[in-house]
Chains A and B, each alone.
Chain A
Amino acid sequence: GAVVSQHPSRVICKSGTSVKIECRSLDFQATTMFWYRQFPKQSLMLMATSNEGSKATYEQGVEKDKFLINHASLTLSTLTVTSAHPEDSSFYICSARDGGPYNEQFFGPGTRLTVL
């Protein structure tokens, strides 16, 4: 199946710093990428949807100025958590979808963010 990678897998940062997470589709072109956040023992909550070359669409309650998403190419999307605070500590998961007839989403392995 299609492979989606995320980097880094884990990151620890100090409060107030910014953290960038990369999501890459390795063997297909991802016309759409999704970013999810998952708190411990909770479900995945969609944060935003990004289409290559256009602005991301954020879900209600997600601050677009805090969670910057860039989908500059068909294989790469980045999520930057700006001025991170301890409450931003979470598991961030991306998924990617190609434009093919099956329209499946393929998930990355996730990034564990810990803000001290």
Chain B
Amino acid sequence: SQQGEEDPQALSIQEGENATMNCSYKTSINNLQWYRQNSGRGLVHLILIRSNEREKHSGRLRVTLDTSKKSSSLLITASRAADTASYFCATRGGSGGSNYKLTFGKGTLLTVNP
């Protein structure tokens, strides 16, 4: 079953507004990561938050993690047209071993209108 589930599936906002995307997962994790993917391109790693962290910032990005609710959110502040992309959360399991796999959610398509 899909580990990460993002919502909303699609989000359309105006430039300058904030965008919030959520991700829920089902099993215990070692860390959770957010990626961006422009149409037809590879993935760009945005930010990683470990299971013992609750909040992390990187530039205009803010990620929160609530392990009790098995959920995470990605906030992009002061959005720009260039932020238009699909955003995926990915979880890495915490069950031990050195070969952790990343499990991706279905993604949120963000459109930032100029």
Q: Are A104 and B45 in contact (CB under 8 A)?
A: yes
Main secondary structure of the interface of A (DSSP, over half): strand
B19 to chain A, nearest CB (A): 19
Q: Are B41 and A110 in contact (CB under 8 A)?
A: yes
The verdict on A43 contacting B106 (CB below 8 Å), with A32-B99, A34-B101 known, is yes
- Quick one: closest A residue to B100, CB to CB? A103
Contacts of A91 in B (CB 8 A): 40
- Nearest chain A CB to B100's CB is how many angstroms away? 7
Per-position 1/0 for B17-53, Cβ under 8 A of A: 0000000000000000001000011111100100000
- Complex CA distance for A104 and B105, rounded to whole angstroms: 18
A interface residues, Cβ below 8 angstroms from B: 1, 6, 32, 34, 36, 41-46, 49, 51, 91, 93, 95, 99, 103-110, 112
Give chain B's interface residues, CB within 8 Å of chain A: 2, 35, 40-45, 48, 88, 98-107, 109
Task: Give me 6 A-to-B residue pairs in the complex whose CB atoms sit less than 8 angstroms apart, sorted by A's number.
Answer: A6-B42, A36-B104, A44-B104, A46-B102, A107-B43, A110-B42
Closest 7 CB pairs of A and B: A109-B42, A107-B43, A44-B104, A110-B42, A43-B104, A43-B106, A107-B42
